[in-house]
Chain A
Amino acid sequence: MRGPFRPRPLRHARLQAVLAIAAMAAAVSLPVVLVSVGGGVEDHELTAIENSGYQIVVSAGGEHGIEHSHALAATIDRVTGVAEASPVLSIAIDAFPSGGSASPVLAEGVIPDAFSATLGPTESDLFPNPLPLGDPSDTVHFANGSYAGPATDDVLVSSPYAASAHLTVGATLDLGPTASQSQASPYTITGIFGVPKTILGPVGAFALVLPLSDLQVMCGYASGNGTVVPDASDTIQVAVSGAISVDPAKLSAVESAIQSQVPYYQVTSLTQEAAQLEAADSVLTGFYLALSSVGLVVGLLFLALVLLRRIEADRRSIGIRRALGLSRGSIAMSVVVDGLVLAAAGAVAGLLGGYAVVAALAADATGTVQEAASLAVFDPRLLGGIVAAVLVLSIVASLVAARSALRIEVAEALR
C-alpha cells in the first residue's frame, strides 16, 4: 500500500502480516536456538575427545569400581603400544579454606607423572609441568598398598576456586570427606591449574588435584581398612604410543590386548565414545526438530489463517481481477507469493531472533545455560535447511489458502 492515506482495512492487513511474520519467526527461532546450542555442545564434546591425550578408557560399572588401580595401571603399562596408563579417582569432598566457609569441590586423585602423560595438548597448557605434587609416581605413600609411607599432603587448586576462596600457592587448605571439619586434614597448596571451558558452570570448575593415594585414604578407598573397593579409581585412562592413536586397526589391537588383561572391566576407545556421543546427539537433534515441528505447525497454521482472512477480505479484489481476465493460476500465484514473502520475512526474523536469544543467553544467563549458549554453533547449512523447509511448507500452507481464493464465484464477489 502506498499513498498518503491508509484505509482502515489495509491497516488491519498490515497487522495480520506482522502477526503472521511473528508466528513464523517464533517457529523458526526455536529450532535455531535448540539446534545451534545442541550442535555447539556436541562439537565441544567431540573436540574435547579428539584433543584428549589418552585414547582408551578402562572403566567398571558402579561407583569407583576399579580395584587395585596402581597394580592394574602397571599391568596395562606393559601392554605393547601403551605409552602410559593413568588411574583417576574423581569424588566430591569438602574443602575448608582458612577464614572461609566450607564448600564442596571435585577432587581428582591421580598418579602425577601418569596423569601429566595423558593430558591432551589443550589441557597440558592448563597444568604446571611437572605436577608439583611431591611424589611423582605416588609410590612413597602408597607403598605397595600399605599406605604406610609418608603422605605429601600436596594439592593443586583450580584457578576459579583459588580466585573464589582467595587461595594462593603455599597456603594451607583443610580437606575432608564430609562437611565436618573435624574429619579434615591440612594440605599445602603447591600449584594452581586452569580449567577448560566446560558446561558444568563455575561451581563445577571448583576442583582439586591431589595424589591418588591421598584421596583414597581420605575417602576410605584404601586397602587394609575394610573398604569394599581397595585402591579404587573410576577409570584408567590409557595413552598409546606414537602413530597408533591415528591407526584404527592398531588402536583396536591395543584395546583388545588391554581387554584380555582385564576381562571383567569395560575397555573402550575414545573413537567408540565419539561415535556413541554422535549417535546420542543425533537422537537429541531429532528430538529438538520434533519439538520444533510443533511450533512450526502452529506458525504455518497461523500463516494459512492469515492468508485465508486476507482472501476473505479481498474477495471483491479477487473477483475484479478474475473479471478482468486474470487467470486462476495468477490469482493462486499471488496468494503463494504473499505467503512466501510473509514466511521468508518470518524466517529471517526467526534466524536473527534465534541468534539474538543465544547471544543474550551467552552474555547474561548463568551456570550451565550460559556455558551451553556460549558454545553454540550456527551451521549455515543446517540453518539454510531449516529456512528451506519452512519456505517449502509455507508454499503448502499458501496453496491451501489459494484453493479458497479459486473457489470464489466472480459474479457473486462483484455483487
Chain B
Amino acid sequence: MNGLRPPRIELRSVVRTYAAGGADEVRALQGIDLTFAPGEFVSVEGPSGCGKTTLLNLLGLLDAPTSGELTWDGRPVGDRPERVRARLRLEGVGFIFQRFYLLPTLTAAENVELPMRARRLPRADRRARADALLAEVGLAGRARAYPHQLSGGEEQRVAVARALGNRPGLLLADEPTGELDTANSRAILDLLERVRAARDATLLVVTHNPEVAARAGRHLEMRDGRVVRDVAEA
C-alpha cells in the first residue's frame, strides 16, 4: 500500500488568523501565494513567530486557512472536513518534529507501525515494512527499544522512519535537527535527502540552521506572516 503520489501544492492568498476579531487577534499568515512542485527540497527560514510553523501546519492539513485556497493538484483541500484532511494526512503527509514526538509507551517498531496500523495494513506487512524502514535509517537492532532507551539522534531517525511508513508524497520537517549534534544532524539530513530523491517526494524543512538551509534547492524566507524571499537554486 503506497501513499498518495507527490502532489503539486498551491496556496493562493492564504491568510491564517488566530482569535479573529478579538483584542488578541494574531495574523500568523497574511496572504501567502506559493506553489510547490513534486520532488522539491525547500527550506523555510525566518525569525521566531514569523509564521513558519503555521505554514507547515497548513501544508500538512493540521490546520485550515482562515481565508484563501490551498490545493493539491488543483483540488481544494484546506477547507475539507477534518475527517477528509485526516485521511489525506495519513496517506499523503509525513511529519518530522523537532522534539521527535515518539509515543513513549510504544517501542521503536510500534511507533513506526502506528500510521500503517491506522491505514489497516496487515500486521505482517507493517511489521516487515517497519523493520525495513528501521534498517534504512540504521536502527535495525533497535526495533524493540523504547524511546527513553534511545539517543536523540536515534529517536529522530525513528521519527523519520515513522514519517515514511505510509510512503507519503509530502515530507514536512519542523526543525528536524534542532535538538541534535552536528554528526546526527548531518546523518538525518542525508537520510531525508536520500528518501526525497528515491521517492520524488516534496520535502519542506523549517530551520534556523544555515547549514540545513544550504542543502535545499529552494529557499523561502518569512517575516511577519509573509514570504519576503523565495529563491530557487539553478
Contact = CB atoms under 8 A, between A and B. Distances in A.
Please indicate whether A and B come from the same complex rather than being unrelated chains: yes
Interface of A: 1-3, 5, 7, 10, 316-317, 320-328, 330, 410-411, 414
Given A316-B101, A320-B103, A330 B118 contact: yes
Interface residues of B, number: 30
A3 B104 CA distance: 10
A326 B101 contact: no
Nearest to B63: A411
Interface stretch (B37-45, B85-93, B183-191): B85-93
Contacts of B146: 2-3, 5
A63 to B, nearest CB: 72
Nearest to B97: A414
B97 to A, nearest CB: 7
Nearest to A1: B105
A401 to B, nearest CB: 18
Interface string B110-149: 0000110010000000000000000000000000001011
A410 B58 CA distance: 12
B50 to A, nearest CB: 16
A316 B166 CA distance: 22
B87 A325 contact: yes
Contacts of A3: 107, 146, 148-149
A323 B105 contact: no
Given A3-B146, A3-B149, A410-B62, A324 B104 contact: no
Given A3-B149, A410-B62, 16 more contacts: A3-B107, A5-B146, A5-B148, A7-B104, A10-B105, A320-B103, A323-B101, A325-B89, A325-B91, A325-B118, A326-B114, A327-B86, A410-B63, A411-B54, A411-B57, A414-B101
- Max count, chain A CB within 10 A of own CB: residue among B53, B60, B62, B115: B62
Contacts of B63: 410-411
Q: Looking at A10, A323, A324, A411, which has the most chain B CB atoms within 10 Å of its CB? A: A324
Contact of B148 (A7, A316, A328): A7
Given A1-B105, A323-B89, A414-B101, A328 B118 contact: no
A91 B105 CA distance: 72
Interface string B61-92: 01100000000000000000011001111110
B219 interface: no
Contacts of B88: 325
B19 to A, nearest CB: 12
Contacts of A414: 62, 97, 101
B97 A328 contact: no
B93 to A, nearest CB: 7
Contacts of A321: 103, 114
B48 to A, nearest CB: 12
A5 B149 contact: yes
Contacts of A1: 105
Given A5-B149, A330-B118, A325 B93 contact: yes
B82 A324 contact: no
A324 B162 contact: yes
A322 B104 contact: no
A317 B105 CA distance: 10
A385 to B, nearest CB: 35
A81 to B, nearest CB: 75
